[in-house]
Structure 1
Amino acid sequence: MWLHGLHAVAAALLNPRRRLRRLLLTADAEAALKERLPEGTFAARKLQPERVEDRARFHTFLPEDSVHQGAALLAEPLPQVALDDALKASDGPVLLLDQVTDPRNVGAILRAAAAFGAAAVVVQDRHAPPETGALARAASGALEIVPMVREVNLSRAIRHLQDGGAWVLGLAGEAGRTLAEAKPTDRRVGLVLGAEGGGLRRLQRETCDELVRLPITEAMESLNVASAAAVALYELRRA
């Protein structure tokens, strides 16, 4: 897969779990990467950047509308991470996405998850976007930081968190209590977010410990799922 954009490429270069194949850079992009990466990064990853003089060359392997900033990295997909391994590595909250399929939204959610210290973003394997350059670009490097855990059955993943002592809250606009009122302070929180339009499906609603809402005004019916995730993660982090 081709990763593109300075943030996504830099983060992949710094991720020892990411296997790298080729690195294509314009002169400006190479200078920008050298400023933000530790000295000797290219050599340590055994990569010799290939200079690109004509930026149109990027569009032979990237979508025409991609914002690549003169940087593209051919890499292997990340190894899959098990939920239990992600939970052992961090005591942060866990986001569970119920059929959120837009790669830009998933990427933005990963970015918020990295910013607010989430342990993992859990997606349903058959109803989530694959790992692509567009998703990595939207995540702005966070794909290399926060594990994106793929589960066959989301309700089973919720119950697994609950069995481990987590309190799982589902975001729903009609809920009685706000997230601030319901969030526990003595245990891990799982936060379930539904797809735009449909929201949480019935089984996920019934499996959550409680449904909660964000206190938005009546001027707007709802928030974009990525915006809701960022606001909710901030609230969970706030003392």
Structure 2
Amino acid sequence: MAGNSQRKGAIKKSGKGNPTVGSGGRVRRGLEGRGPTPKAKDRPNHKVYKQVNKVDKSAAARPKRRATGHTDAEWIAGRNSVVEALREGVPVTGVYVAEGAERDGRLREAFKLAAEKGLTLLEVTRNEMDRMTSGAVHQGLAARIPSYEYAHADDLIGFAEANGEQPLIVALDQVTDPRNLGAVVRSAAGFGAHGVVIPERRAAGMTASAWKTSAGAAARIPVAQTVNMVRQLKAYQDAGCMVVGLAADGDVALPDFELADGPLVLVVGSEGNGLSRLVAETCDQLLSIPMANQLESLNAGVAASVTLYAIAQARA
């Protein structure tokens, strides 16, 4: 009979109940999607996954330096800054020039240095360069440097032992000026130190400015970060090092310093406040640099350089 919904095969159209005919009823769950398709690099059977996870056996066989962290990649903006960075051996990974930039002597020198070093030279729009350099005054030229990989502070003593030398480590206590950090790194490399230790927080890091001031020395000497400077200094003491801090009111004057030829950690304080209280209390000895005028003082970079020179002379 027409309209008889009770006949065999009839479909209930009221939307209620549980339909038994058609694929949209009880088997609906079987038609549900399984989510987005994983990326190729996340699919074990895909060739891209195998390429990404391929093990370089030759690299695995080489000893690796433990790292504690790294900074974000940075930009050096401005023609003078880029040229100086290329001259000083800063590890630039690419040089960028803005479209329509006026060709002058500095730009031509930057191109020449980049070509000699085999660096990539790319032309971008001015808007793109403004974005990359966060609105800095770039004068149509910028360079990119990679993130800095910090060494592990505990490994610096091992570097000295590997060379058969008494450890000489420079620790910076909350030095906030990256130019001072760069100067200390340069002096540490020049006077035979085995590494520089800096706090992880409230201190200058290996930025583009520090790289430039170090004149490329940051590529020759490890810089390590530590979460707790006092704890790290105590670890060096446990390893047999004497920890000596620079202080204007130190108990021993630099000419009378007698610990230079042993395992040594030299601690340099911040530009304005010197050593913090806890760091000063942790030091085995406080060392002062005699000055002709008591009103005169040296910044962290210069003070470290003077002291490292004296230590190098005593060790020689």
Provide TM-score, normalisation by structure 2. 0.60
Provide the rounded CA distance (Å) in 1 between the counterparts of 2:220 and 2:301: 17
Question: In 2 relative to 1, CA 33–75 (structure 1 residues): closer, same or farther, beyond 3 Å?
Answer: closer
Higher Cα Rg: structure 1 or 2?
Answer: 2
Cα drift, residue 219 of structure 1: 5.0
User: Which deviates more from structure 2 when the two are superposed, residues 180-189 or residues 135-144?
Assistant: 180-189
Choose which of 75, 96, 104 in structure 2 pairs with 1:2.
75
Preserved CA contact (<8 Å) 1:6 1:71: no
Choose which of 109, 112, 122 in structure 2 pairs with 1:28.
109
Choose which of 81, 88, 93 in structure 1 pairs with 2:151.
81
Preserved CA contact (<8 Å) 2:251 2:285: no
Preserved CA contact (<8 Å) 2:157 2:194: yes
Cα drift, residue 141 of structure 1: 1.3
Question: In 2 relative to 1, CA 84–11 (structure 1 residues): closer, same or farther, beyond 3 Å?
Answer: farther
Question: In 2 relative to 1, CA 113–62 (structure 1 residues): closer, same or farther, beyond 3 Å?
Answer: farther
Provide the rounded CA distance (Å) in 2 between the counterparts of 1:147 and 1:218: 35
Question: In 2 relative to 1, CA 233–59 (structure 1 residues): closer, same or farther, beyond 3 Å?
Answer: farther
Cα deviation code 1:72-107 (max 9, x no counterpart): 532321222112323222345211111111112112
Question: In 2 relative to 1, CA 94–176 (structure 1 residues): closer, same or farther, beyond 3 Å?
Answer: same
Q: How does 1:44-63 map to 2 (within 5 A)?
A: 47-50=119-122, 61=133
3-state SS of 2:209 partner? helix
Choose which of 118, 131, 139 in structure 1 pairs with 2:193.
118
The reply to whether residue 169 of structure 1 matches residue 247 of structure 2 is: no
3-state SS of 2:272 partner? coil
Provide the rounded CA distance (Å) in 2 between the counterparts of 1:195 and 1:119: 21
| Greater RCO, CA 8 A, separation 6+ | 1
Preserved CA contact (<8 Å) 2:185 2:218: yes
3-state SS of 1:88 partner? helix
Provide the rounded CA distance (Å) in 1 between the counterparts of 2:135 and 2:308: 32
Identity %: 32
Provide the rounded CA distance (Å) in 2 between the counterparts of 1:59 and 1:188: 48
3-state SS of 2:205 partner? coil
Aligned residue pair count = 219
Give the letter aligned to residue 174 of structure 1: D
Provide the rounded CA distance (Å) in 1 between the counterparts of 2:96 and 2:312: 39
Cα drift, residue 71 of structure 1: 7.4
Cα drift, residue 193 of structure 1: 1.1
Q: How does 1:1-239 map to 2 (within 5 A)?
A: 1-3=74-76, 5-6=82-83, 8-9=85-86, 11-13=89-91, 21-24=93-96, 26-32=107-113, 41-42=117-118, 47-50=119-122, 61=133, 72-90=142-160, 91=165, 92-218=167-293, 220-239=295-314
Question: In 2 relative to 1, CA 103–12 (structure 1 residues): closer, same or farther, beyond 3 Å?
Answer: closer
Provide the rounded CA distance (Å) in 2 between the counterparts of 1:71 and 1:189: 43
Structure 2 unaligned blocks of 5 or more: 1-73, 98-106
Structure 1 unaligned blocks of 5 or more: 14-19
Preserved CA contact (<8 Å) 1:171 1:191: yes
Preserved CA contact (<8 Å) 1:24 1:73: yes
Cα drift, residue 29 of structure 1: 2.3
Q: CA RMSD in A?
A: 3.0
Provide the rounded CA distance (Å) in 2 between the counterparts of 1:60 and 1:49: 15
Provide the rounded CA distance (Å) in 2 between the counterparts of 1:48 and 1:104: 27
Provide TM-score, normalisation by structure 1. 0.78
